[in-house]
Amino acid sequence: MAFGFKLKTVKTKETFNNEEELFERIKDEKFTAGKPELVEHGFNKVIVFPPLDRQNQVWVMMQGKNKILIQKNQIAGAGNALINEAVTDVTGGVYSIFSAFGGNAKKIEKLVEATAQELEALDL
């Protein structure tokens, strides 16, 4: 784990050209982290699970055509990204630092691990 960020990767047998294709494949599956959702984040789309708070959410993204990246991140969405950035600026960066600590940070790390294992079990 990098400081405050948990990253896992899963290789796939199937080819996925983008997050939309992956989402269609997993949208009805059961995950410990909850129900996946496809959201716009800037110019990209990302698959996310229900956030624990503004600083702790599981993200799933494609990295190439046969590799899935699962990570802990701030809450996704264009409006949320602007709010997170504004709060980070107002607090002089302290807001972002707290995402690496606390009960929710530990919970989200476990959810990243569980999501990676569950995606591997799907044998995509």
CB-based contacts of 52-56 (< 8 A; 24+ apart in sequence):
52/104, 52/107, 52/108, 53/104, 54/80, 54/83, 54/84, 54/87, 55/84, 55/95, 55/96, 55/98, 55/99, 55/104, 55/105, 56/99, 56/104, 56/105, 56/107, 56/108
Supply the Cα-derived Rg of the chain in whole angstroms: 14
Q: What is the pTM of this model?
A: 0.80
pLDDT tens for each residue of 16-40: 999 999 999 999 999 999 999 999 9
How far, in Å, CA of 108 to CA of 124, rounded? 23
How far, in Å, CA of 12 to CA of 39, rounded? 22
pLDDT bin (cut points 50, 70, 90) of residue 43 is confident
Q: To the nearest whole percent, how much of the chain has pLDDT over 90?
A: 60
Q: Which residue has the higher pLDDT, 73 or 34?
A: 34
